[in-house]
Structure 1
Amino acid sequence: MSLRSKWDDLGERLLSAAVMVAVGVAAVWAGGIVFHVFVALVCGVMVWELVSMLDAKRDRSPYVLGLTAGVAMMVASEVPPAFALPLVLAPSMLGLGQMERGGVTYASFAALILLAGFGMIVLRDRYGIEWLMWLILVVVATDIAGYFAGRFFGGKLLWPRVSPKKTWAGAIGGWVAALLVGIGYVLLTRADAGLLGLSVAASMASQIGDIAESAIKRRAGVKDSSTLIPGHGGLFDRFDGMLGASVFMLIAAQLVGFPPGLPGVFP
Structure 2
Amino acid sequence: MVSVGIVAIALGGVWFQMLAVFVTAVMIWELARMIQPAWDVGAMLLAAFSASVISGLLALNPDWHLALLLAPAAVGAAMMQRERLTFFLFALAIAVAGWGLVVARENYGVTWLFWLVIVVVVTDVAGYFAGRRLGGPKFWPRVSPKKTWSGTVAGWLGAGVVGALFLTFTDSGWDLIWISMILSMASQMGDIAESALKRRMGVKDSSALIPGHGGLFDRFDGLLGASLFTLLLALIVDVPEIGL
**Is 2:39 the counterpart of 1:58?**
yes
Provide the aligned C-alpha RMSD in A. 1.2
Identify the residue that residue 242 of structure 2 maps to in structure 1. Answer: 260
Query: Any idea what the Cα deviations from partners look like across 1:92-115, whole Å, max 9, x if unmatched?
Result: 110122100111011101111011
Q: Hey, which bits of structure 1, 4+ residues long, moved more than 6 A?
A: none
Distance 1:23 1:245 in 2: 20
Secondary structure of 1:229's aligned partner = coil
Q: What corresponds to 1:3 in structure 2?
A: none
- Cα separation, 1, equivalents of 2:17 and 2:192: 27
Deviates more, 1:63-72 or 1:33-42: 63-72
Instruction: Kindly provide the amino acid, as one letter, of the partner of residue 87 in structure 2.
Output: Y
Three-state SS of the structure 1 residue aligned to 2:235 is: helix
Q: Is the 8 A contact 1:155 1:169 kept in 2?
A: yes
2:149 to 153, 165, 168: 168
The 5 A counterparts of 1:16-35 are 20-35=1-16
Partner of 2:134: 153
Alpha-carbon offset, residue 58 of structure 1:
2.4
Aligned residue number for residue 26 of structure 2: 45
Indicate which of 190, 200, 209 corresponds to 1:228: 209
Q: 2:67: which partner in 1? A: 86
Which one of the candidate residues 110, 114, 118 is aligned to 1:133? 114
Percent identity between matched residues is 49
Number of aligned positions between the proteins: 243
Shift in Å, 1:85: 2.5
Normalised TM-score (structure 1): 0.88
Q: 2:42 is aligned with what amino acid? A: S
Aligned match of 2:161: 180
Quick check: 1:61–1:99 contact (8 Å CA) kept in 2?
no
Distance 1:68 1:174 in 2: 36
Q: Mean Cα displacement is larger for which, 225-234 or 184-193?
A: 225-234
1:188 match: secondary structure: coil
Among candidates 38, 43, 48, match of residue 67 of structure 1: 48
> Structure 2: how far apart are the matches of 1:41 and 1:202?
24
Alignment map for 1:198-213 (pairs within 5 Å): 198-213=179-194
Do the aligned residues in 2 keep the contact of 1:76 with 1:85 (CA within 8 Å)?
Answer: no
TM-score (norm 2): 0.96
Give the residue type in structure 1 aligned to 2:235.
Answer: Q
Report the alpha carbon displacement of residue 42 of structure 1 after superposing the two structures with TM: 0.3
CA distance in 2 between counterparts of 1:170 and 1:81 reads: 39
SS at match of 1:256: coil
How far 1:167 moved relative to its partner? 0.8
SS at match of 1:165: strand
Tell whether 2:197 aligns with 1:245: no
Q: How far did residue 185 of structure 1 move?
A: 0.6
Q: Unaligned regions of 5+ residues in structure 2, if any?
A: none
Aligned partners of 1:229, 1:172: CA distance in 2, in Å?
Answer: 29
Q: Structure 1 counterpart of 2:181, which letter? A: V
Please list the CA deviations of residues 139-171 of structure 1 after superposition, one character each: whole Å capped at 9, or x if unmatched: 011011111111111111111111111111111
CA distance in 1, matches of 2:165, 2:189: 24
- The whole-number CA distance in structure 2 between the counterparts of 1:59 and 1:232 is 21
Structure 1 residue 78: Cα displacement: 2.0
Q: What is the alpha-carbon distance in structure 2 between the residues aligned to residue 242 and residue 159 of structure 1?
A: 20
* Residue 195 (structure 1) aligns with: 176
Shift of 1:261: 4.5
